[in-house]
Amino acid sequence: MADVRLTELVRSSGCNAKLPPGDLNEVLKSLPRTVCDRLLGGYEKSDDACVYDVGDGKVLIETVDFFPPMVDDPFVFGEIAAANALSDIYAMGASPSVALSLMCFPSCLDLSVMRSIMLGAISKTDESGCVIAGGHTISDREPKFGLSVTALADKDSVWTNHGARKGDFLVLTKKLGAGVMMTAHKGGETDAAEAIESMRTLNKRARDIARPLSVHAATDITGFSILGHSSEMADGSDATIYLSLGSLRFFSGALGFARFGFLPEGRYTNEDYLKDKVDFDSRIEKAYIDLLFSPETSGGLLLSLREEDAGKFIEEFGDDASIVGRVGERAEKSVVVSL
């Protein structure tokens, strides 16, 4: 087990392995739309999970997420992959109930590695109150793992990413820079301990604290970057989101590694898709722009709340969260980043 380096078996890792958003959008736009009165939210709204009305005021919320490893420790990989998949449910304001696992496993690895990945995932589903009821496994040259997660919720309690209101404040519950940190980690430049701890941390507490507050819109920050997910929230809400660079918090060392060029591939595909949607203050350093376009894995929740509720959230949640911007009237760009 000690000799296994999972990251040496993969070309990409974590949410950086997502297809470029431009390519994905091109395919989704070409698909026929299936009319279903019970489907209250699907991919067309870029929400974090689909919402299906089962009647009697209840809905099913479903999501699926899996990816190649960004760490060598199989147990920690299982933790991060599970936390990342569960996060989509928390971003909808719900509690995960049951999950199915998806495992792609190379024949060159000992089965003890698979067991450790599953044990890591189970540790996080146990923490969330969710149960892994089964799954599917295939042989693959690259290891990949994740979960399909289902929640049952009251119909009127579900959060979406498209209800942000003018005057709302934006709260982000985790630091940024995981994609850059893990690229540097794979290059042997850092242990990335802070980023790894953040990625394996559930967004459950953030959801629990925000649940009684006026959450008008919510999403989690993953592969399409803080700019991509903010843009989706802005477009879906017919608003413009104003982010303050000085209020955004990054993992220690992330800026230096970005300056040195430890940038994930997804940083460039995200910019290709978003460049016409985002406006930067001309004084912002390129390394910060690199960080803002870079993919995150198992990132924090981005919450759009009334000003007073944003303050209440920060007071209870603590220093790990910060108010990073506000919501304004729709302008030319979806997202505006100032110093």
104 counts as catalytic: no
Which residue, chain included where needed, has tokens 């700019």?
227
Length of the chain: 339
User: How far apart are alpha carbons 225 and 185 in whole angstroms?
Assistant: 19
Q: How many CB atoms lie within 10 A of CB 30?
A: 7
Q: How far apart are the first and last CA of the chain?
A: 46
Alpha helices in the chain (DSSP H): 21-30, 74-91, 111-128, 178-186, 193-199, 204-210, 225-236, 254-260, 266-274, 286-293, 307-317
CA-closest candidate to residue 62, choices 29, 34, 85: 85
User: How far apart are alpha carbons 335 and 277 in whole angstroms?
Assistant: 6
Angle (nearest 5°) at CA 224 between 220 and 225: 70
Exactly one of 15, 50, 104, 130 is catalytic; which is it?
15
C-alpha 110, offset from chain centre: 30
> What separation in angstroms does the CA of 121 have from each of 96, 203, 223?
14, 15, 20
Catalytic amino acids?
A: 15
